[in-house]
Structures are given as structure tokens and as C-alpha cells.
Structure 1
Amino acid sequence: MTKILPLALLLALGCSSFGPGNLQSRHSTDLQNRKIRRIAVLPPALTPPEQNSRGPLAPNSSTDRATAEGEAPEILARLLYSTMASMPNWQIVSESEVREIAQPVRASSEAARLKQIGERVYADAVITGRILRFRERIGNELGVKSPASVAFVLDLVDVRRGDILWSARFDETQKPLSENIFAIGDISQRGVRWLTAEQLVHEGVKKAVAQLHDILVRNPTS
């Protein structure tokens, strides 16, 4: 059954944005000593869908699912880079420079590969991510049979030491506000609509990057 709210209820309730616990993160306690200012954004990788995630990744066919799976990492990489590059007081290595350097790098492990790429672009840290789930909505922004559902992980790695400085996991399946009253504060930012999977990823990226920026730049001693 398509989930459609009457106009009056849509205006009053809207759709949920960020319920409690949809972004969980942790970070190193000695960030103030790391002096992280130049960051390289690496293209994220795609991991298999979560074991408890049922249903198609996209609305139509196996071809659509393959397309969604193939495009999801690039969507995350693009949104992560553009969001970080738009914020002041840190330097984000250009996307083209990172891709040019990353292509020929061969290493014995992923940790070694990240370190090599970071060193070659003179970055203090590299940030990368993994798509865990990317299910497109079935319907449109006014009503859906199945809402968008996404999950991803972001890791910020110190190039010199090789350890993870900050890690965040975003996991959200959009719900009507009537099922999640904690999302009422996001209506002014999102509006009253059902988001696509890409739009939901963007919301998560903005929330995660804002938190990271606050830790590294605005309040580096936290």
C-alpha cells in the first residue's frame, strides 16, 4: 500500500529526517595534538548489503539493483567531497588529484594503500567510506510504497600514524513524522517530502561532516 498522507497531515507532520541514533560516531581523545588540516577524500567502496536487509536495492529489476549498487559508492564519494570542500578552515585535496594518485597505487594492505595515497598528496589524513545499504524509494516525494533506506560508514585515518581518528555510521530508513516525533526539528531543513536514496545519503553526509568539522576546526580540543 502506498504511504500517502493527506495534505493537511503532510503540512503538519512531514517526513522524518534524523531519528535518535541514526548517526553514531566516535573519535580519538588526542585530536588536539594531531593538527589535521589537509584531508584527502578517497572513493568509497561498496560492501554486500546487510544480512538483515530485505527487499530490492532499487524499485524495478535486477538490472536496476546492479545499477544502484554500482553507482552508490560514487554518489557517496561525490557528496562527501563537495560537502567537505564547501566548508572553511580546512584544506580538502582536489578530487582529480586524489583519483590520479590513487589509480597506480599498489600496496600489500588497505592500510598501506591509504598511507601511500595520503603521503603522495601531502595530506594529514584521508577519509574514506563504505556503502552498507542503498535502497531507492518506490514512489515519489509525495507518497511511497517503500521509502528510501541507506547506511554507510565514514572513517578518518591519520596518514602518519595509520590509526582511525574519527569514525561515523549513518543508518536511516525514512519514516513519516507521525512514527518518529524526534524528527520534527528537521522539517525546516528538509521540507515535507519523501527523499530519494541519494538525497538521504546527502542528509547523512552533511550531518556527519558538520560533526567532524566541529571537532577538528571549531573545537579542536574536544
Structure 2
Amino acid sequence: MNTSPMKRVFVAAAVAILVFSLGCRRKAPQSAAAPKDVVVAVAPFSNPRADFELLAGYLPENVPAVSEGIPGKLDESLSQVMAATVTSRVLGPSTVETCLKTEPRPEEGGRLGTLRYWQEIGRCAGAQYLVVPQVIAWRERGGSAMGTTVTAAVIINFYLVDVATGGVVKFYHFDEEQRSLSDNLLEAGKFFARKGRWLTASELAQEGMRAAMAEFRL
């Protein structure tokens, strides 16, 4: 049976639309997680006060120094998060702390010198990758989980350094200030995920840690 030209055009167009729609539904390939035999070292949290101490990005203006005890608490939280989410072999901050005490700072200054320094720390620890976490800003919640006078806010940078090359292969910047649902309807998902509670700065930081480890796929 002969098919009219108009019908042939219609069928061809329908097939093209179907193929295009199926292609759009196909998920983009994701990079594979790191092999389980990879060794990842984790540096202790630090609070950089100058841009050259960062491995990427810049410090915001007029941000006060973080209280002395905060980095140590963050070390404990990050160790717990990585124990629950990371499949690679992890060397904790205490292992890297030994290298920090024995490895001299490089003579080369600036940000490149900072990169070289962390590369040597990773080598000292015997790791293929080094996670360098830095807390940039910290504001604790005022009030309780049900009502607050001051909302928690944190800024944390996470860097994943390839020890062999000394390059930063992944960088995750977490800048979060909790707001009410009425202030930001676009973040309704976060509001309900937090069950309508006002989080502490530590709880916000843990959200950032989990997001960073998911990004790093260790």
C-alpha cells in the first residue's frame, strides 16, 4: 500500500521526537568512585587568615577568626562522616598531625608554596590523596532548635589533593546560613529535610561534610 508524502513526513517527525525524548532521559555518565585500595589522608581542620593559605578561592572580608576549639570538634565530626560514607582506606587527622610537626614549610612562598607543602604532607602520610579541610567562618546558633535569635552560619572549604601531582583535583565550597521557610521558599526541601528545626553550626557543618564526600566520591 502506498503512503502519501505528507504521512511519511509525519511518521518521520514522530520517530525523531521519540528518539530525542529517549535520549534526554538518559542519565549522564558519572565518574566511578575511587578504588577501595586507595589510601586517603585527612588533614586537621585549620582556620586560614591569609589568601595564600588557601588552595583555591579567596577569604571574605572582615570575617573574625574562628574560636580555638572549633577545628578540633570539626576533626571529630569529619572522621565520623568519612567512616560512614568513604570506602577508601582513610588515615585520620592524628596521622597527618605527625607529618605537620616534622615536615618543614617549603621555601617557595605564595599559594604555589602552600600546594607544594600539602603535597609533601600527603607523601609523608603515605597517601595517594589528601583531604585538606579549612573552616573560613563560623557563627553559632542563638536560641534552640524550636526558636532562634541568631541563625547558624558556616563557610568551609574542602580540597582533594592528588599527592602524585600536587594538584587540587576536587574543590568543594560550603557556604550555608540557615533561613526560615518564609525568607527563602526556594530552599523548602532543606527546611523539610531538617524537620523544621533550627540547626547548630556543627550540624550545618556536617551537612557540608557529607556533601563534600559525595562530591569527592572516595
TM-score under structure 2 normalisation? 0.68
Provide the residue aligned with 1:13 in structure 2. none
| Overall identity of the aligned pairs, in % | 27
Q: Provide the residue aligned with 1:119 in structure 2.
A: 123
Secondary structure of the 2:61 match is: coil
Residue in 2 aligned with 1:185? Answer: 189
| Other structure's SS at 1:186 match | helix
Aligned to 2:28: none
Structure 2 letter corresponding to 1:44: F
Match of 1:157 among 150, 157, 161: 161
Report if the CA contact (8 A) 2:152-2:200 is conserved. Answer: yes
Give the aligned partner of residue 44 of structure 1: 45
Cα pair distance change 1:147/1:187, threshold 3 Å = closer
CA distance in 1, matches of 2:205, 2:144: 17
Q: Which has the higher contact order (CA 8 A, sep 6+)?
A: 1
Contact 2:44 2:93 in 1 (8 A): no
Question: Could you tell me which amino acid in structure 2 is paired with residue 137 of structure 1?
Answer: R
Report the more deviating stretch, 178-187 or 159-168: 178-187
Structure 2 counterpart of 1:50, which letter?
A: P
Local SS of the residue matching 1:204 = helix
Deviation, structure 1 residue 46: 0.6
Quickly say closer, same or farther: Cα 1:88–1:50, change in 2 above 3 A. Answer: closer
CA distance in structure 2 between the partners assigned to 1:80 and 1:180 by the alignment:
28
Report which of the two structures shows the higher radius of gyration computed on alpha carbons: 2
Separation of aligned partners in 2, 1:210 and 1:185: 18
CA contact (8 A) 1:46 1:69 kept: no
Give how far 1:187 is off.
Answer: 4.5
Question: What is the identity, as a one-letter code, of the residue corresponding to 2:61?
Answer: Q
Which residue of structure 1 lines up, in the alignment, with residue 137 of structure 2? 133
User: Displacement, 1:83?
Assistant: 1.3
Say whether the 8 Å CA contact 2:43–2:131 is kept in structure 1: yes
CA distance in 1, matches of 2:182, 2:48: 32
Go from structure 1 to structure 2 and tell me whether the alpha carbon gap of 1:85 and 1:103 turns closer, same or farther (over 3 Å shift): farther
**Structure 1, unaligned stretches of length 5 or more?**
1-30, 58-65, 217-222
Q: How far apart, in 2, do the equivalents of 1:190 and 1:52 lie?
A: 30
The CA RMSD measured in Å over matched residues stands at: 2.5
For each residue in 1:16-44, what CA deviation from the matched residue of structure 2 results, as whole angstroms up to 9, or x when unmatched? xxxxxxxxxxxxxxx87x97932111012
What does the per-residue CA deviation read over 1:65-104, in whole Å, with 9 as the maximum and x for residues that have no partner?
A: x7x5212222333222321222243111133322233322
Are residues 79 and 158 of structure 1, via their aligned partners in 2, closer, same or farther at CA, if it must alter by over 3 Å? same
In structure 2, C-alpha distance between the alignment counterparts of 1:101 and 1:69, rounded to whole Å: 24
Structure-2 separation of matches of 1:46 and 1:88: 24
Q: Aligned match of 2:215 in 211, 217, 221? A: 211
Query: What residue number does 1:92 align with?
Result: 90
- Name the aligned partner's letter for residue 84 of structure 1: M
Distance (whole Å) between structure 2 residues aligned to residue 105 and residue 42 of structure 1: 13
Deviation at 1:167, TM superposition (A): 0.3
Equivalenced residue count is: 171
Confirm or deny: 8 A CA contact 1:134 1:197 kept in the other structure.
yes
1:72 is aligned to 70
Q: Which residue of 1 aligns with 2:177?
A: 173
Shift of 1:52: 5.6
